[in-house]
A and B are shown apart, each in its own frame.
Chain A
C-alpha cells in the first residue's frame, strides 16, 4: 500500500498544476536550483560528524557503548546499534543524516536495524535546534518543560515505530 503514496502524490501535483494552469516545469526547476546551495551549506557539518562517528566506531568505543546500553535499548525494543543515532538526532540534522548513511552501509537499509534507523530519522526533528531557533527573536531563554516533553514524546514515538516494524 505504501508503494502507492509517492506516485499518487506526484500525479496529484501534476493534475493540479494542469487544472490551475500553473507552470509546473518552471516551479520545479526553480525549487531544484536551490538544492546545491543547501548541500554546500550542510557539507561541513556532515563531514565533521561523519569523521567523528567513523573514529568513534573504528576505535571500538561505539561497540563498547552499544554493549553497555544494550539492556536499556532491549527493554524498549530498539536495536542497541542505534545509540549514536539516538544521541545525534535531536542535536544535528546533518549529523544524524551522516550516521544514518553509515548504518545503511554497515547493516543494509532493509535489515531490521536499517529500518529502525529509517523510522528514527524520519519520524523526528532536531528538537534542540527547533527550540533554539523559534525563540531566537525573543528574550525568552528558559523554555520550561517544552524540550524535555518533546524529547520524551519523540522517544515514545521511536518505541512505537520500532515495535510496528516487526510487522512490516
Chain B
C-alpha cells in the first residue's frame, strides 16, 4: 500500500503544482474532511453490525456452521489433520458471517497446523485462495455505506454481489485443485521416468558387463 500511496500522492502533487498550486491545500483538507466524515458513518455501522455479530457468536451459530462445514473442509483440504480441519471450518464460518476479526486468528492457526516444514503445499494455497476470494455473504459495511450515501435501495446489489463472491471462490477452488492434480500427475510421470531410466541404466550396465566378459574370454 505504501508504494501505491506514494505514487498517487506524488503524481497528484506534481501535476497540481504545475497546473493549480492554490488548489493543493483545499484538496488536502477536503480529503481529510472526507475521512473524518466517513469515520462517523463507520462508527455507526460498525457498532450496529459488531453488536449483531457478537449476538450471533453468543448464540453458537458460528460453531454450528463450522460443524456443518466439516465434510466440505475435508474435501477441500484432504491432507490436513483433524486440528487443521477444525480451525479451517471455524475460519470459513466466521468469514461467511463477516466476522473478519474472529476469522483471522483461525486462519493463522490453520496455516500453522498445515505447515510441516516442507514449504508451501497445495492445501495451504487452496485455503488461502478460499479466504482471499472472500466468503462473506452479507457485506454489511458496503450496505451501510450505500444507505448513508442516500441510496434509495441499498440492498439492490446484494444478489449480484453474492454471485460474484461465490463464483470467485468456486473458481479459485477449481483452479487450485486442477493445479494440484497436474502437479501430482507430473510428479508421478517423473518418478515413472526415473524408475524406467534406472532400469535401463541397470540393463546397460549388465550388458556392458557381459560385453567385457565376452571380450576377456
Contact = CB atoms under 8 A, between A and B. Distances in A.
Bound pair (A, B): yes
A16 B59 contact: yes
A144 B120 contact: yes
A59 B15 contact: yes
A51 B59 contact: no
B27 interface: yes
A2 B159 CA distance: 7
B54 A43 contact: no
Q: What secondary structure prevails in chain B residues at the interface with A?
A: helix
8 contacts: A22-B58, A42-B42, A48-B5, A55-B27, A118-B142, A118-B157, A130-B131, A149-B172
A154 to B, nearest CB: 5
Given A52-B8, A109-B150, A153-B129, A121 B54 contact: no
A17 interface: yes
A153 B5 contact: no
Interface of B: 1, 4-5, 8-9, 11-16, 19, 23-24, 27-28, 30-32, 34-36, 38-39, 41-43, 46-48, 50-61, 104, 107-108, 110-112, 115, 117, 119-120, 124-125, 127-129, 131-134, 136, 138-139, 141-143, 145-146, 149-165, 167-169, 171-172, 175-176, 179
Given A134-B107, A138-B111, A109 B146 contact: yes
B170 to A, nearest CB: 9
Interface residues of A, number: 100
A143 to B, nearest CB: 6
B33 to A, nearest CB: 9
A149 to B, nearest CB: 5
A75 B162 CA distance: 23
Contact of B52 (A28, A47, A119, A142): A28
A20 B61 CA distance: 11
B54 A31 contact: yes
Given A51-B28, A146-B124, A27 B15 contact: no
B154 A133 contact: no
A87 to B, nearest CB: 6
A130 B132 contact: yes
Centre residue among A30, A46, A91, A130 by max chain B CB count within 10 A:
A130
Nearest to A103: B149
